[in-house]
Structure formats: structure tokens, C-alpha cells
Amino acid sequence: MFGTDSSWRQGCLLAEKSATTLFPHSEESQNAPMFVVVTHDCDILSPKEKKIEFIACQEISVCSPEFVGAKNPRKIHLKFSNKEDQELYLELQQCNKISVDKGDLESVSADLSNFYLAENEKDLLKQWLAARYGRPAFPNAFEARLRKDIGKRKKLEDEFRKKVAPHANGILAIFFDLNDSRYSELEDGDPYFLKIIFAYDAMEGGPSARKAAESAAIEIEALFASAFDDTEIILESCLAVADTDISLAALRRISQWRLEHLSYEAKS
């Protein structure tokens, strides 16, 4: 079943009947009756790996721009399709992982759904799984300044979220460049010098993605200008940049500011 000719791969969706058989009374099957394989392909085929890891997921009506593109490390929306061009949208959360012995899968002849992920969606799933442990940590002092109050019951991080959200569909990623203060906890009165990049997909997104990124950059630049003085955060630049114009050298210097930093994840 899990030999070299196996059809089991990362991103496959467990057939509904198999899910019901494997998890008849589990909390996962009651609350999220669909299961996506997240174990790496090599581990699925390896006889040394005894378990297959799934994420229990929920069907949703449509993918939200805030949770596509691996923007949030805790939650992702993915589009599955089948040969009849039917589409299925699912929400996956990192906290809903569950491991199953390969022997248990073989004993019930577990089967896969006829819905599958396109290659670009598979790539997003891989990025999202890796981002859980690979996302950068920013200085606490810097994050505290981004959470400052800028009005009655209003925090800057919430305003950042509100201003970026309408343009999220055209934005691949947000990058912060803190220069030499990337790992520094600065004292009050000592400002962080910040550059912000709104990266967009030049090939797939085209002019509409560029416009979305430019609009977000303009709004965030105005927000920072009104919120911070020169003792807190000095915004040196805030630009929309095509992904094709971001070099490997730049990626080694800058850090992705994932949407979860700004409370994009639904509050519970």
C-alpha cells in the first residue's frame, strides 16, 4: 500500500468512507470530517516511518485572501478539484494534526478521495507546513511598538490589518527589514529604522496585483507617519516590489512579517 508505486502523497485527501472507518467516534471526525495527508512523500514510502500524519479540516464555501498563499502559519485555505472540474475548498489548521499507524490504514484498506491539489496548491501546503517552525521572531520591543494605542480602543496592529486586508489577494508576502536592529531589543527612545516590502506576483498577478500592493504600501506609509515619532519607528521606505525583483541576497537580509503577527488569525 505504501510501496514505491503508492498513490499516497503529501496533500492527498482521505476518502470520506475511509475517514469514517478510521475515526468513527473521534472528536476530529465529528468536528472536521475531512483529512489531508501532510506527511512528506519520502516518509510515506519509508518503511522506517510507521505513521502517517493528517490534518483534520473543514469544508468552507470560498477561500479567504487572508489565508491563501501560506500567509498565516497557523491556518491555510486550499482549493481541491477533480477530473470533473468540481472544486472543494478546505480550511486546515496546524493544531488539528493527527497521526495514524500505517498498519491501521492498511487494515481498513484506506482509500484516497478523487479530489486533489494542483501543483501550485501543493507548493503552498509545503510552504505553510514549513513556516510553522521556520517563521522569524522579531524583537519584543519592536512588536510592542507595533501594538501601541493610536486612539480610543484602537491599536496600530488592528489598523494595519484593516488597511492591508482589502488588498491581501494581490499580496504574496510582507517583508520587514530592520537593518542592524533585526535582533536587538532597543531601549525606549531608541528608534527602529524599518523598510517594508509588499511583494506581489508579477507573472500570475500582473497589474492588478501590483496595484493592490501599491495601494497597501501607500496606506501603511500614511499609518506609520501618523502613529510614530522619531523615537519609536522610523519608516525609511514602504514599497510594492515584484517577486521577480527580490534577490536571494535581499531574502537573507529581510524577514517575512506573516499575517498572524497582526491578528489576521480569527480570534477564539
DSSP, residue by residue, 125-152: HHHHHHHHHH-----HHHHHHHT-EEET
Return the domain boundaries, the chain: 16-134, 140-262
Which range among 27-36, 64-73, 137-146, 170-179 shows the weakest confidence by mean pLDDT?
27-36
| pLDDT for the residue numbered 31 | 60
- Asked whether 257 and 157 are in contact (CB, 8 A), the reply is no
Please tell me the predicted confidence (pLDDT) of residue 266. Answer: 33
Mean local confidence (pLDDT), 78-93: 94
Interval 185-204 mean pLDDT = 94
Question: How many whole angstroms separate alpha carbon 8 and alpha carbon 110?
Answer: 10
Q: Please state, as a whole number, how many other Cβ atoms lie within 10 Å of the Cβ of residue 56.
A: 24
pLDDT band, very low/low/confident/very high, at 171 (cuts 50, 70, 90): very high
Q: How confident is the model at residue 223 (pLDDT cuts 50, 70, 90)?
A: very high
Query: Is residue 263's pLDDT more than 60?
Result: no
> Which of the pair, 146 or 131, is modelled with greater confidence?
146
Strand partners, 101: 51
Residue 180 has pLDDT above 50, yes or no: yes
Cα distance between residue 4 and residue 94, in whole Å: 28
* Average pLDDT of the segment spanning 40-48: 88
Size of the chain in residues = 268
Locus of grid cell 496585483: 209
Compute the radius of gyration of the chain from its Cα atoms: 21
We find that the CATH architecture of domain 140-262 is: 2-Layer Sandwich (3.30)
Residue of 231, 223, 221, 222 lying closest to 155 (CA atoms): 223
Mean pLDDT of the chain: 86
* Residue 111 predicted with pLDDT over 90: no
| Residue 176, C-alpha cell as written in the block | 520587514
Q: What sign results for the dihedral spanned by CA atoms 144, 147, 151, 154?
A: negative
Q: What is the mean pLDDT of residues 59-83?
A: 89
